[in-house]
Structure 1
Amino acid sequence: MAAKGGVNEIAARYAKALFDLADEQKALDPVAEDLRTVQQLVSESDDLRRMVRSPVISRGDQGKAISAILDKAGTSELTGKFIGYLASQRRLFALGAITKAFLAELAKRRGEVTAEVVSARSLSDAQVEAVEEALNNVVGGKVAVEHRVDPSLIGGLIVKVGSRMVDSSMATQLQKLKLAMKGA
Structure 2
Amino acid sequence: MALSGRIRSGISLFNKLGYLTSDSLSAQRSTLPRTLTAPANFVTSRNFSISSGKQKEERVKVPLALFGGSGNYASALYIAAVKSNVVDKVESEILDLVEAAKNSPTFSQFGKDLSVPLETRVKAVQEIANQAKFSEITKNFLVLLAENGRLRNVDTIAKRFVELTMAYKGEMKAIVTTVIPLPPAEEKELKETLQEIIGAGKKVKIEQKIDPSILGGLVVEFGQKVFDMSIKTRALQMERFLRDPINISNI
Give the direction of change, closer, same or farther, for the CA distance of 1:151–1:51 in structure 2 (3 Å limit): farther
When structure 1 is superposed on structure 2, of 132-141 and 26-35 the one drifting more is: 132-141
Relative to its length, the structure with more helix (as a share) is 1
Q: What's 1:14 paired with?
A: 73
Choose which of 8, 18, 25 in structure 1 pairs with 2:84. Answer: 25
Q: How many residues of Structure 1 are paired with residues of Structure 2 in the alignment?
A: 178
Look at both structures and tell me which one has the larger radius of gyration over its CA atoms: 2
- Kindly state the Cα deviation for residue 26 of structure 1 after the two structures are TM-superposed: 1.0
- Kindly state the Cα deviation for residue 160 of structure 1 after the two structures are TM-superposed: 1.6
Q: Distance in 2 between matches of 1:68 and 1:124?
A: 40
Q: What's 1:176 paired with?
A: 236
Q: What's 2:164 paired with?
A: 105
Q: Distance in 2 between matches of 1:55 and 1:147?
A: 33
Q: Write the deviation string for residues 23-69 of structure 1: whole angstroms up to 9, x where unpaired.
A: 12110011112233234445x54837953773466265665666666
**Is the Cα–Cα contact under 8 Å of residues 172 and 205 in structure 2 kept in the other structure?**
yes
SS in 1 for 2:220: strand
- Kindly state the Cα deviation for residue 132 of structure 1 after the two structures are TM-superposed: 3.0
**Is the Cα–Cα contact under 8 Å of residues 180 and 210 in structure 2 kept in the other structure?**
yes
For structure 2, which runs of at least 5 residues remain unmatched after alignment? 1-34, 41-65, 245-251
Q: TM-score, normalised by structure 2?
A: 0.52
SS in 2 for 1:26: coil
When structure 1 is superposed on structure 2, of 69-78 and 108-117 the one drifting more is: 69-78
Q: What's 1:144 paired with?
A: 205
Q: Distance in 2 between matches of 1:68 and 1:117?
A: 37
SS in 2 for 1:158: strand
When structure 1 is superposed on structure 2, of 89-98 and 173-182 the one drifting more is: 173-182
**Is the Cα–Cα contact under 8 Å of residues 108 and 152 in structure 2 kept in the other structure?**
no
Choose which of 109, 116, 122 in structure 2 pairs with 1:51. Answer: 109
SS in 1 for 2:219: strand
**Is the Cα–Cα contact under 8 Å of residues 59 and 89 in structure 1 kept in the other structure?**
no
Q: Distance in 2 between matches of 1:151 and 1:176?
A: 16
Question: In the TM superposition, what are the counterparts of 1:30-109 in structure 2 within 5 Å?
Answer: 30-41=89-100, 45=103, 47=105, 51=109, 54-55=112-113, 58=116, 75-109=134-168
Percent of counterpart pairs with the same letter?
Answer: 25
**RMSD value over aligned CA atoms?**
4.2
Q: Distance in 2 between matches of 1:131 and 1:76?
A: 35
**Is the Cα–Cα contact under 8 Å of residues 114 and 149 in structure 2 kept in the other structure?**
no
SS in 2 for 1:90: coil
Q: What's 2:225 paired with?
A: 164
Give the direction of change, closer, same or farther, for the CA distance of 1:86–1:168 in structure 2 (3 Å limit): farther
SS in 2 for 1:13: helix
- Kindly state the Cα deviation for residue 173 of structure 1 after the two structures are TM-superposed: 3.9
For structure 1, which runs of at least 5 residues remain unmatched after alignment? none
